[in-house]
Amino acid sequence: MQALEQPIRFATIGRSQIAQLWLAAAQTLPDFRLCATYSRQIADAREFAQQYGAQRAYDNLEAMAKDPDVDAVYIASPNLFHYEQTLMMLRHGKHVLVEKPMAVTRAQAEDMFATADANGCVLLEATRNVLNPAMRRIRDALPQLGVLRRAHLHFCQYSSKYDRFKQGEMTNTFNPALATGGLMDLGVYTVEAMVYLFGAPQRITAVHHALPHGWDAMGTLIADYESMQAVLTYSKITQGYAPSEIQGEKGALQIGHITELNNLRIRLRTGEEQIIASEPPGSDLVHETRAFIDMIKGVRDAKEMRHCSLTAMGIMEEARAQFSRMDK
């Protein structure tokens, strides 16, 4: 456990857009320090380190894992590498904040958490919408809706790299060999939100549309509960604008965007309306990092999100299995 006043010294793996957004947010926290960066090419690692003020740059993961001045590691590499990289860091006593999805299978995620426990480390999946305080306000407001009957959770965002892919360029984003795809990159936000708000469903039915090279481009999951149904939609080849909505017998709760959790509004059948407070735009990554640091310092339960991550991982694994059977 770190002293409350002591800064947490971070290293990063990955230079993606989300890594850059995360660093910009994390560096606003007074007890965050960036001390090292990793990339496969040392020139890239050094450039990234200089850009964000880190003193060390690595192109060797084990060397960084052994750095005694690194307390924690943020992993934002392609999904396929999360498992092995996380295990390496945990086995060297580093706390790990790993981007979603934390693994490819539930078994991998369970192994990661077991390794964290064995080494006295904190492991947290970077599910920024679930770690946003507004998500708890949404959950706390659900009883006002009466018996819950239906939820529509959406995340459809046209990929900034899709046009390049259509011109023949294969980027990591569109490479199915790296365990990417619409469900793993965007749909995960809807799955994690569903699990946090409603728990594990009794069963799911999943369909998708794959591009010719087998990459999961868009899809729909239907999750059945005892008295309600959740419909999750995602896409990386279309742009969606519709809000998400949770419906009960007494009214509905609208969510402007499932990751930003903005424009939160309850509308009851009586005509009454209520606004639920949102967090400032762009603060979700700050809340995510604050939660992780607080877990390291022992002021927040380090295992509070574990069940949500494991349940969501199992749901996505089952959905992908259904996709595979569908594509044969």
| Domains located in the chain, CATH noted | 8-126 (3.40.50.720), 133-280+314-327 (3.30.360.10)
What does the pLDDT look like over 46-60, one tens digit per residue? 999 999 999 999 999
For the stretch 229-254, pLDDT in tens is 999 999 999 999 999 999 999 999 99
Q: What is the pLDDT of residue 3?
A: 59
- Mean pLDDT for the chain? 96
> Which pLDDT value is given to residue 4?
64
pLDDT tens per residue, range 186-244 = 999 999 999 999 999 999 999 999 999 999 999 999 999 999 999 999 999 999 999 99
Q: Rounded to an integer, what is the distance from CA 91 to the centroid of its chain?
A: 23
Phi and psi at residue 25, to the nearest 5°: -75, -45
**pLDDT for the residue 33:** 98
Closest listed residue to residue 307, CA positions, set 156, 178, 152, 125:
125
Task: Please say if the pLDDT value at position 133 is more than 60.
Answer: yes
**Number of helices followed by number of strands (H, E) in the chain:** 11, 14
Q: Is the pLDDT of residue 2 over 70?
A: no
Residue type at 255? I
- Structure tokens, 220: 């729909």
pTM score, whole prediction: 0.96
Picking from 40-44, 48-52, 135-139, 169-173, which range would have the lowest pLDDT averaged per residue? 169-173
Percent share of the chain, pLDDT over 90: 95
Q: Is residue 88 pLDDT above 90, yes or no?
A: yes
The CA-to-CA distance between both ends of the chain, in Å, stands at 50
What pLDDT score was predicted for residue 171? 87
β-bridge partners, 204: 223
CA angle 252, 258, 264 (to 5 degrees): 45
Cα-based distances in Å from 291 to 8, 141, 299: 13, 22, 9
Kindly state the tokens that stand for 213.
């090279």
Helix (H), strand (E) at residue 286: helix 284-296
Asked if 237 contacts 208 with a C-beta cutoff of 8 angstroms, the reply is: no
With a CB cutoff of 8 Å and minimum separation 6, the contacts of 193 are: 129, 130, 135, 153, 258
pLDDT of 166 strictly over 70? yes
pLDDT greater than 90 at residue 5: no
